[in-house]
Copies of this chain bind each other. A is one copy, B any other.
Amino acid sequence: MTNPNHPFLAACRREKTPYTPVWLMRQAGRYMKEYRKLRAEFSFLDLCKRPDLAAEITVTPVERLGVDAAILFADILLLLEPMGVPLEYTKDDGPVISHPVRTGADVDRLKELDPDRSLPFVFEAVRKSRAALNGKVPLIGFAGAPFTLASYLIEGGGSRSYIHTKRLMYSDPGAWRNLMERLSRAVVQYLNAQITAGAQAVQIFDSWVGCMSPEDYQKYVSPHMSATISGLTDGIPVIHFSTGTAGLLRLIRAAGGDIIGVDWRVNLDEAWQQLGYDVGIQGNLDPAALLAPLDEIRGKVGEILRRAGGRPGHIFNLGHGVLPDTPVEHVIAMVQAVHELSAR
């Protein structure tokens, strides 16, 4: 049993904590030799589908880094395969969808997700991770947000301009709505099943929604994000994460979430002021700052904590995932700096 007053869970409720809790997106990843060793033997998808290994990868950084939460090792695109969209990963773990969704007919062919039937290994990994964590720190579950999932489905992988996504949105708003509603239902099912299996908080990654104008966000994204968040099991904190959204913060906050994740391209104090203090905030160190010398990292940690002002409801994190070239010792030093400099 995790203590419900664990600093991470308390911060999610915007309660005072003895120090600012910290975890990192992709804290289990290629920058860590334990992970690279497993990846040399198993493919990325194999690791996701082997609950014993996924749990091991989930738990390792908690021991190694001293972070205040574990995040399930999985991938935001796992739910696409059972929806009828096969995908592959390149050797850099980048996703490729060889038959992208481009038309209303493509959308209609998508299957409804039955997560318990098609993704049992994810929930087994949740249970095994909880058992291995043994109450030490809470476990965060996660999923991609409908927009970010849609953009992968439509573009067939990563993108710079999201041309196909926006073209579908503008030229066939009915197909777009249909797609977003299907994805929203799938995400709700999937996250609620993670919660049932033992996830104590969830993060929804709308990683690529920063490509949208505020007007388009409001029209094409916000209703589906609201529906997703309000479909989740009550009482479990929801972190609503995105990047490149300094101009969208008010709309993102309005779409929902207990904690809003912001990236480094906005000052944390200005972001929180825009979001309002009735919501928590997560962030916001530049992942590239972990390539800097240790004293520079410590300085940047201090600056972010200063901007957070000791206000309850701040969870320290990077503004996006740990970069593959990051030295592990720099991550450890960053976590220590957060704990030391925020100690109250």
What is the CA–CA distance of A293 and B247 in the complex, to the nearest angstrom? 25
> Given contacts A161-B323, A247-B267, A267-B247, are A170 and B289 in contact (CB under 8 A)?
yes
Chain A contact residues, CB within 8 Å of chain B: 161-163, 166-167, 170-171, 210-216, 244-248, 264-267, 270-271, 286-289, 291-293, 296, 300, 303, 323, 325
Cα A270 to Cα B270 with chains together (Å): 14
A266 to B216, CA, bound (A): 11
Question: Which of A247, A264, A270 is most buried by chain B, counting CB atoms within 10 A of its CB?
Answer: A247
CB pair B266 A325 closer than 8 Å: no
Q: With A161-B323, A162-B288 as given contacts, are A265 and B170 in contact (CB-CB < 8 Å)?
A: no
Closest B residue to A251 using CB positions: B267
> Does the CB pair A170–B293 fall under 8 Å?
yes
Nearest residue (CB) in B for A286 is: B213
B291 engages A170 (CB within 8 Å) = yes
Contact A323 B163, CB 8 Å, known A215-B300, A291-B170, A303-B215: yes
Q: Which among A245, A248, A291 has the highest number of chain B CB atoms within 10 Å?
A: A291
> A242 CB to closest chain B CB, in angstroms?
11
Q: Indicate how many identical chains form the complex.
A: 2
Verify B247–A266 contact, CB threshold 8 A: yes
Tell me if A244 and B265 are in contact (CB < 8 A). yes
Contact status B325-A163, CB under 8 Å:
yes
Can you name 20 A-B residue pairings with CB atoms under 8 Å? A161-B287, A163-B323, A166-B286, A166-B291, A170-B296, A171-B291, A212-B265, A213-B286, A214-B266, A215-B267, A215-B300, A245-B265, A246-B246, A246-B248, A246-B266, A247-B265, A247-B266, A247-B270, A247-B271, A248-B265
User: How far does the Cβ of A72 sit from chain B's closest Cβ, in whole Å?
Assistant: 24
CB neighbours (8 Å) of A270 from chain B are 247
Among A167, A246, A288, A296, which residue has the most Cβ atoms of chain B within 10 A? A288
A300 to B216, CA, bound (A): 10
User: What are the residues of chain B within 8 A of A265 when measuring CB–CB?
Assistant: 210-214, 244-248
A209–chain B nearest beta-carbon distance, Å:
10
CA distance A271 to B325 in the complex (A): 35
- A213 near B163 with CB under 8 A, answer no
- Not counting A171-B292, A247-B267, A247-B271, a sample of 20 additional A-B residue pairs whose C-beta atoms are within 8 angstroms of each other reads A166-B288, A166-B292, A167-B291, A167-B292, A170-B289, A170-B292, A171-B291, A171-B293, A210-B244, A211-B265, A213-B265, A215-B300, A215-B303, A216-B286, A246-B246, A246-B247, A246-B265, A247-B265, A247-B270, A248-B265
Per the bound structure, the CA–CA distance linking A287 and B216 in Å amounts to 13
Contacts of A267 in B (CB 8 A): 214-215, 247
In the complex, what residues of B have CB within 8 A of residue A161's CB? 287-288, 323
Contact B246 A288 (CB under 8 A): no
A176 → B minimal CB distance (Å)? 12
